[in-house]
Homo-oligomer: A and B are copies of this chain.
């Protein structure tokens, strides 16, 4: 694990403001975005109001010129700058206009600067309609605070995975008497469609979740996602639900910790609150190991964590002829490999991390080796991959290059690049297939039997 960054324990602004007096004198790490900032005392201090989305109010922060670790104070003050700061909480000085506990900074851990001239949000913009053309940034205005969940859109004009296996949403077949409109060059006139351009069903709420994480620091979304893949396996659906947390100031290690505790939490809740249902399922479809045995194993065992490189080396040592697909560095692990690791080698859940960049999407953070990205997959017995996640690329130049290297056009991702341009932060997240989790929890064989209305190639009953 020494190839991974350490994780950081951050205190939320809401917790500081609620318990302020009790916390005075203690050390804290705070991450967030500057709502307002000014220098004072001829450059001796900067006063910042920092918001992390955990409550409508911002935390008052004082930075002395020396504390900035070489960062000039003027680079901390523009609205929208992201900061990760360590310091001591203290009551405001007597006679000060401030009423609540403030953070006196001792170390500036990270800064994500803002190009203030280009930043489209302005203090003077107050009405909600001012922000309608800035949907990717308006979460940073204080009308859009939230503690956790938000609703992602189903209909999207950007393709998160860039894989092309997406459904298009259209009214062209029913409008204009059913005659498809063509342009002079022979291509279809999608300008005439409902959204005036091509629109698709989302493959993931991740990019939208990143918008909100880069304003509210910790968010999740839970909703349907869609893949027009022609897979007829027992573990794929064309329509499935995903739980997608996205956490600002989190490294890949934090991401793995979150994924592991989340799965363990789900297993414990199931064992505690659905005992009779699980017994019923185990009696009806008795298999070995039973669903209850699997849940107990997963809820009580530390997950094994190995790099992709280690995984490949282990699988290379397995007796020849075991796998249909040959194993070598660079391949995407197949389901047979994943299940072998979790079921035969480790007999517990396994997290594989640091995958080759060629087999992962552009938004995953490039590691220093320039060959791998900070990706991670959680594998569990019987089901294989249950979670896929990564630390996201927060460096503007590298992200741009990864988009073009992936053969994608930059234009549809301009808004996504804005997140790096204006107050960029380290952030990580993952997606858990909800239907796969149900498959794992019930121990059934086929995902079509665990959800009410499965959709797959050629089938969309009702």
Task: Please give the residue numbers on chain A whose beta carbons come within 8 Å of chain B beta carbons, in ascending order.
Answer: 55-56, 128-129, 131-133, 135-136, 139, 142-145, 150-158, 164, 166-171, 173-174, 178, 180, 187-188, 194-199, 201, 207-208, 211-212, 223-224, 226, 228, 238-239, 241, 276-277, 280-281, 284, 415, 434, 444, 446, 448-449, 451-455, 457-462
Q: Beyond A207-B462, A458-B195, is A444–B128 a contact (Cβ under 8 Å)? A: yes
CB–CB B56/A153 < 8 A: no
- Docked CA distance A451–B155 (Å): 14
Given contacts A462-B135, A462-B157, A462-B158, contact A449 B171 (CB under 8 A): no
Asked whether, in the complex, the Cβ of B461 is within 8 Å of the Cβ of A277, the reply is no
Q: Write the nearest CB–CB distance from A451 to chain B, whole angstroms.
A: 6
**Candidates B170, B194, B448; contact of A457 at CB < 8 Å:** B194
Give the distance to chain B from A65, nearest Cβ to Cβ, in Å. Answer: 34
Using CB atoms, name the residue of chain B closest to A228. B171
Residues A238 and B194 in contact, CB atoms below 8 Å apart = yes
Known interface pairs A167-B170, A168-B173, A194-B167. Does A224 touch B458 (Cβ–Cβ under 8 Å)? no
Do A56 and B280 touch (CB < 8 A)?
yes
Write the chain B residue with the least CB distance to A225: B154
A201 surroundings in chain B (CB, below 8 A): 154, 169
Contact assessment for A455 and B224 in the assembled complex, using a CB-CB cutoff below 8 Å? no
Residues of B within 8 A of A157 (CB): 460-462
Q: Which residues of B contact A178 (CB under 8 A)?
A: 187-188
Q: Nearest 10 CB-CB pairs, A to B?
A: A128-B449, A153-B453, A195-B460, A196-B458, A56-B280, A135-B461, A199-B460, A167-B169, A171-B228, A154-B224
Bound-state Cα–Cα, A56 to B200, Å:
40
Query: Is there contact, CB below 8 Å, between A462 and B132?
Result: no
Nearest Cβ in chain B — how far from A188, in angstroms? 7
Q: Which residue of B lies closest to A196 (CB)?
A: B458
- Which chain B residue has the least Cβ–Cβ distance from A191? B458
Nearest-neighbour CB distance to chain B for A336, whole angstroms, equals 23
- From B142, B154, B169, give the contact of A168 (CB < 8 A): B169
In the bound complex, do residue B155 and residue A56 qualify as a contact, i.e. CB atoms below 8 Å apart?
no
Complex contact B139–A452 (CB within 8 A): yes
Set of chain B residues within 8 Å of A195, measured between Cβ atoms? 455, 457-460
Q: Which residue of the partner chain, among B132, B197, B280, contacts A448 with CB atoms under 8 Å?
A: B132
Smallest beta-carbon distance A290→chain B, Å: 16
Chain B residues near A197 (CB, 8 Å)?
460
Residues in B with CB closer than 8 Å to A199 are 460
Q: Say whether B462 contacts A136, CB under 8 Å.
A: yes
Residues of B within 8 A of A241 (CB): 151
B452 touches A150 (CB 8 A): yes
Within the complex, which residue of B135, B284, B453, B455 is in contact with A453, where a contact is CB–CB below 8 Å? B135
> How long is the Cα–Cα vector from A156 to B133 in the complex, in angstroms?
32
Measured CA separation A375–B415 after assembly (Å):
45
Least Cβ–Cβ distance between A239 and chain B, in angstroms: 5
Docked complex Cα distance between A154 and B462 (Å): 11
Instruction: Give the chain B neighbours of A142 by CB distance below 8 A.
Output: 280
Contact residues in B for A281 (Cβ distance below 8 Å) = 143
Contact B188 A153, beta carbon cutoff 8 Å: no
The answer to whether A156 touches B459, judged by C-beta atoms less than 8 angstroms apart, is no
Q: With a CB–CB cut-off of 8 A, which chain B residues contact A223?
A: 223-224
Q: With the chains together, A135 CA to B449 CA distance in Å?
A: 10
Specify which of B56, B128, B155, B448 is in contact with A277 (CB 8 Å cutoff).
Answer: B56
Q: Which of B166, B180, B415 contacts A462 (CB 8 A)?
A: B415
Known pairs A153-B239, A224-B223; A129 contacts B449 (CB<8 A): yes
The 8 sampled A-B contact pairs (Cβ below 8 Å) are A151-B452, A154-B154, A154-B201, A155-B455, A194-B458, A195-B459, A197-B460, A223-B223
